[in-house]
Structure 1
Amino acid sequence: MTVSLENAFLKVSFNEHGGELTSLFNKKNKFEYLWQANPKYWGRHAPVLFPIVGRLKDDKYFYKQQQYWMTQHGFARDMDFEIEKKTDQQVTFCLHANKVTMQQYPFEFVLRIKYELMIDTLKVSYLVDNPSIKQLLFSVGGHPAFNVPLSSTEVFSDYQVAIASNRTHQLIQLQGNYSDSRHPLEFTAKKIDVTRETFKNDAVILKLDEKETMLTLTTSQEKNGIRFNTGNAQYVGVWSKYPENAPFVCIEPWWGLADDVNASGRLTEKVGLHVLKAHESFNGFYKIQVF
């Protein structure tokens, strides 16, 4: 079922399947900013990544001497959520652990995705609760894709992702599907060029250390685009498909990483993992502003 929120500036829509954002429409300039999931290139809009981000080595892990299987980015994006709460300006989707999730992930959890419409901005929050007396191990992340170009008078390579930060970031390299978090590079550039070659080795991943960073996806003229506030994300990935001419760019806030190239396979040793003790909670958020 599709659910929408609307004000004078924006109309945003969501699907109970995956709790996924499916439309981000600017009523002023009549632009649809969110990728519309053309399966020719990539059949998703903005999937939620839980309880892992990226891929496990050989799609498996071990926990308490038991082997489990899980595919890339986890199962939440392919499950039906419940609408827990809805008002004129916000909606919260909820997913509980169940028999299906327990087969691949032996933890009790409550995952809530809260969307709040604030004038020209959408705030997205990931709320993870541990209802158990046992610890909860997880990662979580977002994967929103934006239409690039937005206008028929522009082309893909007209765009860039400007980084409003005076800090030097660590660039997390990838080896195939896996992260090489032990050997980061210094990233001092103030922008990421949007070209096909930029994504030849998959996503460009920056370590943020939970410090709010503004990324702006736009052309050099800055006429229209996305201002993406990373909130308290630990990492952000910028990605598009290669070598296809896919007309979208993803800006992905993550609280976790794909398995390290040298991962042991033991979940307790996984890079970027979060641990909640009994009845503890986690709150991660980011914001998308359109112009």
Structure 2
Amino acid sequence: MTVQIENEFLIATIAEDGAELVSLKSKKNDLEYIWQGDPQFWGRHAPVLFPFVGRLKDDQYTYEDQTYQMGQHGFARDCLFEVIEQGAELASLSLKSNAETKKIYPFDFELVVSYELKDNQLAVRYQVENTGDQEMLFSIGGHPAFNIPLEQNLTFEDYYLGFSPQKSRIQIPLVGPYADFEHKTLGQTNTSLDLRRELFKNDAIIFETKGTNTFSIASDESAHSISLSYTDMPFVGIWTPYDKEAPFVCIEPWCGIADGLNASGKLIDKIGINRLDAAAIFNTEYIITAK
């Protein structure tokens, strides 16, 4: 099942499975901005990453002397959410902890994912509530994939990545699925970066981010572009499958990151983990601008 919201500019479609954005279309010209999930390349659209972002070392973690198994990016993307609010331009979906989630993640929570349209923008909001009586440890992030090229007469290589503000950012390399924090470098995000497949030969490009950031995908050959903006999310990943000539690029804002090569496996030691007191609420959002 899906829910749909729209205004005079855009139509957004959200699946109840995973609270995943599966379509964002221009009403003016029917242009589709969101990757349509062809499994030949990648079968998802814009999954919600919770309660972890990226891969855990050996796909497991330890909390209070108990070891839990967890696959990449957590379980929320594979869960059925409940629609708790739907209007013309706003939809909110909820996932609550239950007996099944407690088997692999020992915290009580409610995750609410909301989508709201305003003009040519879609705000994607994450609200995490700790409904338990102990501190909660979690990560959360987005993984939206955007069609590139946006128009059939262009190619992947006609596009570039834009960065605002134009300043250098710390880049964190990957070794396999794990972050190599020991070999951070200075990424040259003080100028635009032409899209080339070789950029992704080592998987995602990951930057540390502070303050307000905007990442865009645009072409000098087109008036159409896509951008993603947020404030105070500490990491972003930019990704497309290197070996598949996939016609999309993901811009992934994260409050969390994959385990490091030397991770202890203990959840309390995990780099980038968020801590939420009992009964407290965490909020963050990112905004997609479609032109």
TM superposition score category, shorter chain reference: over 0.9
- Matched residue type, 1:59: D
Contact 1:34 1:146 in 2 (8 A): yes
Which residue in the other structure is 2:34 paired with?
34
- Matched residue type, 2:192: K
Determine if the alignment matches structure 1 residue 205 to structure 2 residue 178.
no
Once the 2 structures are TM-superposed, how far is the Cα of residue 46 of structure 1 from its aligned partner? 0.3
CA distance in 2, matches of 1:182, 1:96: 37
Unaligned runs of 5+ in 1: none
Contact 1:230 1:236 in 2 (8 A): no
Deviates more, 1:72-81 or 1:278-287: 278-287
Contact 1:238 1:252 in 2 (8 A): yes
CA distance in 2, matches of 1:192, 1:73: 27
CA distance in 2, matches of 1:220, 1:19: 34
Which residue in the other structure is 2:196 paired with?
195
CA distance in 2, matches of 1:82, 1:122: 20
Contact 1:232 1:285 in 2 (8 A): no
Contact 1:231 1:287 in 2 (8 A): no
Contact 1:232 1:286 in 2 (8 A): no
Which residue in the other structure is 1:114 paired with?
114
SS of residue paired to 1:100: helix
CA distance in 1, matches of 2:172, 2:223: 31
SS of residue paired to 2:180: strand
- Per-residue CA shift, 1:36-79, capped at 9, x if unaligned? 00011100000000000000011011111101000000000000
TM-score by length of 1: 0.97
SS of residue paired to 1:30: coil
Within 5 A, what are the aligned runs for 1:259-274?
259-274=259-274
SS of residue paired to 1:103: helix
SS of residue paired to 2:58: helix
Which residue in the other structure is 2:218 paired with?
218
Which residue in the other structure is 1:277 paired with?
277
- Per-residue CA shift, 1:140-185, capped at 9, x if unaligned? 0000001011111101111111102143210011111000224311
Which residue in the other structure is 1:158 paired with?
158
CA distance in 1, matches of 2:40, 2:60: 29
- Matched residue type, 1:278: A
Determine if the alignment matches structure 1 residue 235 to structure 2 residue 235.
yes
Which residue in the other structure is 2:249 paired with?
249
- Matched residue type, 1:199: F
Once the 2 structures are TM-superposed, how far is the Cα of residue 222 of structure 1 from its aligned partner? 4.9
Number of equivalent positions: 290
Which residue in the other structure is 1:176 paired with?
176
CA distance in 2, matches of 1:250, 1:174: 16
Determine if the alignment matches structure 1 residue 287 to structure 2 residue 287.
yes
- Per-residue CA shift, 1:257-287, capped at 9, x if unaligned? 0001110000110011000011111111100
- Matched residue type, 1:198: L
Once the 2 structures are TM-superposed, how far is the Cα of residue 252 of structure 1 from its aligned partner? 0.4
Deviates more, 1:179-188 or 1:150-159: 179-188
Contact 2:10 2:120 in 1 (8 A): yes
CA distance in 2, matches of 1:182, 1:124: 32
Contact 1:158 1:194 in 2 (8 A): yes
CA distance in 2, matches of 1:36, 1:144: 11
TM-score by length of 2: 0.97
CA distance in 1, matches of 2:118, 2:231: 15
- Matched residue type, 2:58: D
Within 5 A, what are the aligned runs for 1:75-154?
75-154=75-154
Once the 2 structures are TM-superposed, how far is the Cα of residue 224 of structure 1 from its aligned partner? 0.8
CA distance in 2, matches of 1:226, 1:26: 12
Once the 2 structures are TM-superposed, how far is the Cα of residue 223 of structure 1 from its aligned partner? 1.5
